[in-house]
């Protein structure tokens, strides 16, 4: 994660103006590990900057992602999620609640690239899919009450 000073320097290096809105949106994203949607960032930013619009938040996130200052994560091809951490890492995705958890594992960063002379690979991201602990324990509660009902 970049510090605010590093973010400002990185923006300048990429020719992006550092506006108050951009900085606020970046700071909001950078302080969470939840890989939020544009909408949830918007709700948070709005408390500090009530006149901001969802379109502005969305546009800003897209601009920052285009310049590799943040990452866009798209679990299971639905709603885009954003990540303030652009260091190489991978994700665990819960298929139930869509929670995204970071995975840092050097081995996963050193996979052998497939060879294709018609394709230049820039990188990759691994998405492990499964069920988080929280959802798994809810399932257990559900299935145990179901079996209680069957007994009665």
Q: Which residues bind Zn ion (CB under 5 A)?
A: 83, 94, 96-97, 99, 102, 132, 135
Identity of the residue, 53 or 124, whose beta carbon is nearer to Zn ion in the bound complex: 124
Question: Residue 140 in 3-state DSSP?
Answer: helix
**Min CB(152)–Zn ion separation in Å:** 29
Pairing, β 127-130 against β 90-94 = parallel
Question: Residue 100 in 3-state DSSP?
Answer: strand
Identity of the residue, 53 or 137, whose beta carbon is nearer to Zn ion in the bound complex: 137
Q: What is the largest CA-CA distance in the chain?
A: 69
Identity of the residue, 12 or 140, whose beta carbon is nearer to Zn ion in the bound complex: 140
**Min CB(48)–Zn ion separation in Å:** 24
**Min CB(125)–Zn ion separation in Å:** 9
For residue 137, what are the CA distances in angstroms to 131, 134, 150?
10, 5, 20
């Amino acid at each position: 994660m970049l510090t605010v000073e590093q973010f400002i320097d990185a923006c300048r290096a990429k020719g992006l103006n550092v506006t108050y809105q951009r900085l606020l949106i970046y700071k909001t994203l950078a302080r969470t590990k939840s890989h939020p949607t544009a909408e949830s960032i918007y709700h948070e930013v709005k408390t500090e900057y009530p006149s901001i619009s969802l379109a502005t938040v969305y546009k800003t996130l897209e601009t920052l992602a285009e310049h590799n200052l943040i990452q866009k994560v798209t679990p299971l091809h639905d709603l885009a999620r954003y990540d303030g951490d652009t260091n190489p890492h991978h994700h665990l995705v819960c298929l139930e609640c869509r929670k995204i958890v970071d995975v840092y594992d050097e081995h996963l960063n050193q996979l052998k690239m497939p060879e294709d002379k018609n394709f230049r690979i820039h990188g990759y991201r691994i998405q492990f899919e499964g069920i988080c602990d929280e959802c798994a324990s809810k399932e257990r509660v559900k299935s145990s009450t179901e079996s209680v009902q069957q007994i009665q």
